[in-house]
Amino acid sequence: MASYQDQRSITELVTGLLADLSGLFRNELNLAKAEASDKVSHALAGAGTIAAGLVLAVGALGVLLAALVKAVTAFLMARGMSEPNADVLSSVIVGVIVGIIAWAVIARGRAALREESLRLDHTAASLRRDAQIIKEKT
C-alpha cells in the first residue's frame, strides 16, 4: 500500500481549511436562504387562501343576517305588526345584537393587545441578570 505525503506547509493547510470552512458556511447560508424563501412563499400562499375564505365568510354572514332580519320581520308580522314597522324593528333588533357582539369581540381583542400583555418581562429580567453577572465577572 502506497502512502501519500502532503508536501504543503502548515500555513497552506490552515489557509485551505479556512477557505473550505468559509465555503461550507456560505453554502449553508445559501441553503438556509433558499429554504426560508420557500417557506415564506408557502406561507404567503396560505395567507392568500385565508384572505379569500374570510371575504367569502363576510359575504355569507351578510346573507345570514339578512335572512335573520326577514325571519324576525315575519315573526313580528305574525304577531299583528304592519310590514313596514316590522321590517324596521327587526333591522334595529338584529343590528343592535350584532353590534353588541362585535363590540365585545373587539374589546376582548384590544385587551389582549394592551401594552402589558406585549411586554417581555421574563426576557428583560433575564437580560438584566446576564448583564449583572457580566459586570461582576469583569
Determine what percent of the chain falls in helix, strand and coil, rounding each to the nearest 5. Answer: 85, 0, 15
The pTM for the full model equals: 0.56
**pLDDT at site 117:** 61
Q: What pLDDT is recorded for position 36?
A: 85
pLDDT of residue 2: 56
pLDDT tens for the chain, 138 residues: list them. Answer: 556 666 778 888 888 888 888 888 888 888 888 888 888 888 888 999 999 999 999 999 999 999 999 999 999 999 999 999 999 999 999 999 999 999 999 999 888 887 666 667 777 777 788 778 777 776
Q: DSSP for 38-50, please give it.
A: HHHHHHHHHHHHH
Report how far apart, in Å, the C-alpha atoms of 112 and of each of 50, 54, 101 are: 22, 22, 17
Dist. CA 43–CA 68, nearest whole Å: 37
